[in-house]
């Protein structure tokens, strides 16, 4: 979950690294640091705190070298201190290393190295690997066949690592070189004109070059200002594939908004349009996807779907479950990716697995996908990042095409996932028993989703005023039924992760089976209230809460008439097709969480203890 940047070339490394770290800060912001090779030494600046703190510290060092590495940290081992910040330098002063991931056997490494005379200054697992590289470098001063002693020392050390890593390493004896490697932690190489940037995310690269190489697990890259080479842990040469980034740096800028979350909330109409562009049949009756690598006959053989994901993506899976079962009449199971690989779930041969991950690097989701494939199941992926590990390893899949999402709290990626879930339900239903006319109606509803979201976003000023009245409360309930129950879960998650308010999501009818004990004048409830069969049932639940003096915010579809006094505040959203309703209903809960967070003075884009992409288990 940490951010990694390394630069080798003809420019001053520090300025490029600091720029990259600012763009990667959503990956971790406990501490930050950089190391530049200059004047025959490894010059290190690192501080606990945000990248801005590091910028001030770096100014004292007068960095001029053209080779360096930088890191922004999300703590795993050891507290948030200057000493635990990366880069770490080996005790012999020869190596500096930055690391994303977890080294599970670091304790044994550390014990061994202490016995060999190496010392430690931090509590991190990373420092053990840095000293292990120094140990192998000192142990074997000559490399067979004239290879790089630096590269081979890193390679030998990584063979002893149990766990995950994305690393970049400097060596004092090799002033114009960087060695980087990955295992289950993303690394991207930016290819420039006599310069290279290695980073954990393309957002640190795209302002300098749009030519990239996505490293695979078990690969090492050796960089100089003139060339690069990729090999495996087993010393096999790898022919690199250079891809192009399809978005520009302006896509990752605030563009006049106060926060990335705000920007991404209001980008959702365009994001939805991009998600569905070119994905409907010519006759307008169904969806079509180009990368599933399954034909219609194979899809008809599927008698069960399994969806795996984490966080907001898991909520999107729950909505997909409801829509697929409703419209396609195929059983669906949704599992937490983090649980799936450990519980040995029985899957029959006609089960198709789906994994959903915005980044395509979520470690639990990646592990679930690999477990399903290991057992012989086909796995399709839904993700947003071209070239991500999940995208490369899946048997097929769908890209979201919503552009970079920087805010830690997912917004446009989530509603895009909802839309794709609805499109998948349509795609499967039309292969089975959905009529042409019903399919055409469904397609028109999906095409209208962006405009419905634009209408819902017009409620922002009203929601901002509502947020001011409720921001003082310490507990919230979010309640919905059927396809809106997952949106209640999502609303509670949004509020928790950015405002630090305790919030719970429940099916509305379950409220009386326990959660009603929480109801007081100081515990507001947010109800999602659509027209239809469950309207009166939801109103009944609202009246039970009102009878206990609980404040209620009701998010209702147009045409719903609530009994007088049953809700303290009402937010109206457009009435729409059931496949689109979860998307439209998401907008008010996003805005409510955003504005409550502003009112409480919390950091919207960098909530405490969280990072955007969870790449450690």
Catalytic residue set: 2, 612
Helix/strand/coil for 159? coil
Compute how many other C-beta atoms are within 10 angstroms of the C-beta atom of residue 608: 11
Cβ burial of 441 (10 Å; 0-12, 13-18, 19+) is: middle
Query: What are the C-alpha distances in Å from 1 to residues 25, 165, 187, 262?
Result: 10, 10, 12, 23
Instruction: Identify whether the C-beta of residue 313 lies closer than 8 Å to the C-beta of residue 368.
Output: no
In whole angstroms, give the CA distance from residue 575 to residue 87. Answer: 54
- Please give the backbone phi and psi of residue 482, each rounded to the nearest 5 degrees, phi first: 55, -125
490 contact partners, CB below 8 Å, separation of at least 6: 312, 315, 414, 505, 586, 589
Angle between helices 412-431 and 581-600 (to 10 degrees): 170
Pairing of strands 475-480, 525-529: parallel
Please identify which residue in the block is written with the tokens 């198709």.
Answer: 352
Q: What CA–CA distance (Å, rounded) separates 306 from 379? A: 9
Give the span between the Cα atoms of 230 and 388, in whole angstroms: 18
CB atoms within 10 A of CB 44: 19
Contacts of 546 (CB under 8 A, 6+ apart): 552, 565, 566
Closest CA to 419 of 530, 576, 534, 262: 576
C-beta atoms surrounding 262 within 10 Å: 22
Using CA atoms, how far residue 569 sits from 186, 291, 476, 564, in Å, is 45, 45, 15, 11
Considering only the C-alpha atoms of the chain, give the largest distance between any 2 of them, rounded to a whole number of Å.
Answer: 85
Q: Copy the structure tokens of residue 562.
A: 């609530």
Q: Provide the token pair at 9.
A: 């070339």
Distances (CA, A) of 564 to 152, 153, 523, 542: 75, 74, 21, 12
Asked if residues 213 and 242 have their Cβ atoms less than 8 Å apart, the reply is yes
All residues at 6 or more sequence positions from 307 whose CB lies less than 8 Å from its CB, including other chains: 317, 320, 321, 332, 333, 334, 335, 353, 354, 355, 356
Reference 154, options 204, 51, 223; nearest CA is 223
Structural contact between residues 385 and 582, judged by C-beta atoms closer than 8 angstroms = no
Alpha-carbon distances of 389 from 122, 317, 392, 596, rounded to whole Å: 31, 20, 5, 36
Where does residue 515 rank: exposed (0-12), middle (13-18), buried (19+ CB within 10 A)?
middle
Say how far apart CA 448 and CA 278 lie, in whole Å: 15
| SS3 of residue 166 by DSSP | strand
CA distance 444 to 176: 57
HSE-up of 501 (CA within 13 Å, CB side)?
33
């Amino acid at each position: 979950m940490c951010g990694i940047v390394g630069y080798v070339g003809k420019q001053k490394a520090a300025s490029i690294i600091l720029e990259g770290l600012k763009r990667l800060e959503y990956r971790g912001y406990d501490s930050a640091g950089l190391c530049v090779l200059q004047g025959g030494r490894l010059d290190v600046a690192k501080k606990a705190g945000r990248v801005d703190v590091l910028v001030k510290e770096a100014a004292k060092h007068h960095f001029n070298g053209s080779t360096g590495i930088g890191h922004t940290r999300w703590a795993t081992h050891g507290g948030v201190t200057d000493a635990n910040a990366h880069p770490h330098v080996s005790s012999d002063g020869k190596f500096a290393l930055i690391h994303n991931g977890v080294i599970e056997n670091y304790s044994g490494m550390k014990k061994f190295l202490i016995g060999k005379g190496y010392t430690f200054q931090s509590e991190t697992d990373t420092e053990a690997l840095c000293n292990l590289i120094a140990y192998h470098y000192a142990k074997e001063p000559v490399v067979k066949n004239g290879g790089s002693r630096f590269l081979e020392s890193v390679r030998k050390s990584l063979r002893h690592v149990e766990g995950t890593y994305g690393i970049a390493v400097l060596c004092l004896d090799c002033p114009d070189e960087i060695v980087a490697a990955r295992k289950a932690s993303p690394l991207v190489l930016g290819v420039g004109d006599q310069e290279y940037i290695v980073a954990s995310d393309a957002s640190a690269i795209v302002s300098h070059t749009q030519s990239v190489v996505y490293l695979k697990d078990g690969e090492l890259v050796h960089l100089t200002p003139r060339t690069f080479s990729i090999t495996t842990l087993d010393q096999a040469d790898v022919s690199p594939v250079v891809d192009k980034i399809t978005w520009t740096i302006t896509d990752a800028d605030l563009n006049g908004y106060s926060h990335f979350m705000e920007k991404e909330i209001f980008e959702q109409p365009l994001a939805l349009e991009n998600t569905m562009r070119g994905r409907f049949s010519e006759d307008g009756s169904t969806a079509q996807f180009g990368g599933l690598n399954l034909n219609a006959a194979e899809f008809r053989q599927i008698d069960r779907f399994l969806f795996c994901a984490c966080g907001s993506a898991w909520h999107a899976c729950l909505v997909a479950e409801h829509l697929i079962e409703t419209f396609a009449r195929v059983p669906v199971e949704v599992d937490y990716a983090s649980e799936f690989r450990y519980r040995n779930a029985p899957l029959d041969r006609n089960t198709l697995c789906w994994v959903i991950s915005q980044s395509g690097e979520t470690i639990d989701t990646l592990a679930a996908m690999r477990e399903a494939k290991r057992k012989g199941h086909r796995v399709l992926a839904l993700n947003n990042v071209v070239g991500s590990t999940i995208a490369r390893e899946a048997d097929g899949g769908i890209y979201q095409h919503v552009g970079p999402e920087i805010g830690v709290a997912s917004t446009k990626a989530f509603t895009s996932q909802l839309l794709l879930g609805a499109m998948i339900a349509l795609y499967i239903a039309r292969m089975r028993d959905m009529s042409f006319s019903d399919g055409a109606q469904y397609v028109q509803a999906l095409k209208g989703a962006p405009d419905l979201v634009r209408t819902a976003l017009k409620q922002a000023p009203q929601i901002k005023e509502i947020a001011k009245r409720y921001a003082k409360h310490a507990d919230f309930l979010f309640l919905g039924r059927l396809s809106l129950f997952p949106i209640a879960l999502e609303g509670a998650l949004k509020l928790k992760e950015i405002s630090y308010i305790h919030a719970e999501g429940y099916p509305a009818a379950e409220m009386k089976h326990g959660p009603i004990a929480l109801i007081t004048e100081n515990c507001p409830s947010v109800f999602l209230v659509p027209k239809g069969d469950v309207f009166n049932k939801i109103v009944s639940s609202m009246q039970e809460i009102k009878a206990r003096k609980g404040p209620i915010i009701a998010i209702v579809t147009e045409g719903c008439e609530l009994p007088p006094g049953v809700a303290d505040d009402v937010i109206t959203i457009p009435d729409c097709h059931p496949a689109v309703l979860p998307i439209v209903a998401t907008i008010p809960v996003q805005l409510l969480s955003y504005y409550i967070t502003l009112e409480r003075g919390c950091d919207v884009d960098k909530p405490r203890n969280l990072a955007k992409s969870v790449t450690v288990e």
